[in-house]
Structure 1
Amino acid sequence: MKYKNITPAVFLDRPNRFIAHVETADGVETVHVKNTGRCRELLIKGSEVYLTAPGTPGRKTVYDLVAVRKGNGLLVNMDSQAPNVVVREWLDTLGFDRIVPEHSYGDSRMDFYMEYGSRRFLMEVKGCTLEIAGTGYFPDAPTERGVRHLMELVRAVGEGYTAVLTFVIQMDGIREVRPNVSMHPEFGEALEKALKAGVQVVFLECHVEPDSLTFKHVAREITAGWFK
């Protein structure tokens, strides 16, 4: 996916989940943060960040904050809407007969429902922005919603679906995403149950530029017990 325009800035602070203060060449701006996660290891005062100006009429802020460069030099796309865009671009190349985004299933709205012949697929997408010592981790904050989605995927397997959890890695050089059990042990437990039930886990490796997030490679073949 591509952004129409990019402006570099320096991160100052984040008063709440939705906005941040940054310094651009034209002065201090209040910007919308396109990620409501904690992102504490990313949004550090003085960090180099990148903004896009969507130009939507009636907006309270001119810019969205979409990417940040960590202290180790790693450029991270932190736009929480970007993973679904990248996955849709990928799915469109795979020859499915039907692709439906935002599909209602059980008590959840799953990111994608697909059909290929008589086969039915359900997919949930998670973006990974947390990197520790060269490995990706998810989540960066407790996510009861994420646990519920995993249980819905387990249920889907029992009903004959091919159920898939897709992690979109929003940075370069990271090949897998492990459950952040120190942050949310229940997510790790739910993921292990899902793997044992037959839910497939896919990692989408991506290349990040300030103005783009591009799918590069698919890594899969994950089985129960892989992260133990």
Structure 2
Amino acid sequence: MNFHPPLVHGHLIKRYKRFLADVRLDDGTITTAHCTNSGSMKSCLEEGAEVYISDSMNPKRKTRYTWEMIKIGEDWVGINTANPNKLAFEIIWNNLLPRLSGYTKVVREVKFDDSRFDIFAQNSEEKCYIEVKNVTLKDGMCARFPDAVTTRGQKHLDTLIKAKVSGFRAVMLYIIQRCDVKLFTPAFSIDPVYAEKLRLAIEHGVEIIPLQVKVTPTGIEPVRVLEYQLHEKTPNPA
């Protein structure tokens, strides 16, 4: 996934009202960018840090710019929650991830039961429902999800179980938008209900794929599938 047109560089002044961020551009101009991430953004929010924003080229839009990424330490962290869905579709359609390859039909936003899943993929052998989640929370060397209680996410897990029981393939695809972590785990202390539902989903045959991606000012690309741990003891990734 490439960024077109090129992103605009600046430094974060502050994030506020959940969906807004003030950014000082390199020419000294201060602009307000839309923040798509409604979560706490814990571990990826640092005032004064370098950021990149995208320009909608639409001067009539209420917030012309969208906040795309922030530099934490030496790594870029992608915070635009719309990008994982776009990236996941590209990866599956272009057979870039072996565990989700070989599908002849790939469509976005498909309803199942009382939920809407991000991606539906199909070939002559199977039909697969895929829910995509954006992961930015870092705890030590672990990536965790969610960074705030998510009743919507809990519901998606319940419906993935229903899809699996109904005979479909069901996949929970976590797009981890940072490269400074080595293991994926639920955020037990933030949303213990989600953590328990994820464990239950695995028991019912729902698949977990924690895909780490590299975020750069020019684009986002898949790196590797991380191992995951579903119990609450302190992880010790190698």
Deviation for aligned residue 1:173: 4.0
Letter matched to residue 195 of structure 1? I
CA–CA distance in structure 1, aligned partners of residues 140 and 204 of structure 2: 30
In the alignment, structure 2 segments of 5+ residues that lack a partner are: 96-100, 234-238
- Equivalent residue of 1:137, what SS? strand
> Which deviations, in whole Å up to 9, do the C-alpha atoms of 1:39-89 show, x marking residues without a partner?
14322221211111121352122321100011x322101110111111111
The aligned counterpart of 1:59 is: 61
Contact 2:188 2:232 in 1 (8 A): no
Letter matched to residue 11 of structure 2? V
> Which deviations, in whole Å up to 9, do the C-alpha atoms of 1:192-227 show, x marking residues without a partner?
10011110001212111123111123346x68x566
The aligned counterpart of 2:144 is: 137
In the alignment, structure 1 segments of 5+ residues that lack a partner are: none
Contact 1:128 1:177 in 2 (8 A): no
Count of aligned pairs between the two proteins: 225
Contact 1:163 1:200 in 2 (8 A): yes
What percent of counterpart residues are identical? 29
Deviation for aligned residue 1:18: 1.3
- TM-score, structure 1 length as denominator? 0.92
- Aligned pairs for 1:43-58 within 5 A: 43-56=45-58, 58=60
Letter matched to residue 181 of structure 2? I
- Equivalent residue of 1:167, what SS? strand
Moved more, 28-37 or 135-144: 28-37
Does 2:165 correspond to 1:158? yes
Contact 2:142 2:184 in 1 (8 A): yes
Moved more, 177-186 or 17-26: 17-26
The aligned counterpart of 2:236 is: none
Aligned partner (choices 144, 149, 153) of residue 146 of structure 1: 153
Contact 1:84 1:125 in 2 (8 A): yes
Please tell me the root mean square deviation across aligned C-alpha atoms, in Å. Answer: 1.8
Aligned partner (choices 109, 121, 126) of residue 119 of structure 1: 126
Moved segments of 4+, more than 4 Å? 225-228
The aligned counterpart of 1:23 is: 24
Letter matched to residue 33 of structure 1? C
Contact 2:115 2:156 in 1 (8 A): yes
Contact 1:50 1:65 in 2 (8 A): yes
The aligned counterpart of 1:38 is: 40
> Which deviations, in whole Å up to 9, do the C-alpha atoms of 1:133-164 show, x marking residues without a partner?
12100001100000000010111111001110
- TM-score, structure 2 length as denominator? 0.88
